[in-house]
Amino acid sequence: VRPIGSTSESDTEFDRMKQEILDEVVRELHKVKDEIIHAIRQEMSRITTS
């Protein structure tokens, strides 16, 4: 039997922490995607001007 209150508070805190981590991962993945797209565009531009 779990004590009333402590479980829901810790569960809520845990869910909030998971969401913050997930949000940060999504932001970082978007940055990586943008960097890859930028590098591909630069390379394509370099190839077409050579």
Say how far apart CA 34 and CA 23 lie, in whole Å: 17
Positions of the chain with pLDDT lower than 70, given as ranges: 1-6
Extract the tokens encoding 44: 């394509």
Residue 2: predicted pLDDT: 54
Please state the pTM of the whole predicted model.
Answer: 0.69
Extract the tokens encoding 48: 């077409």
Residue 50: predicted pLDDT: 72
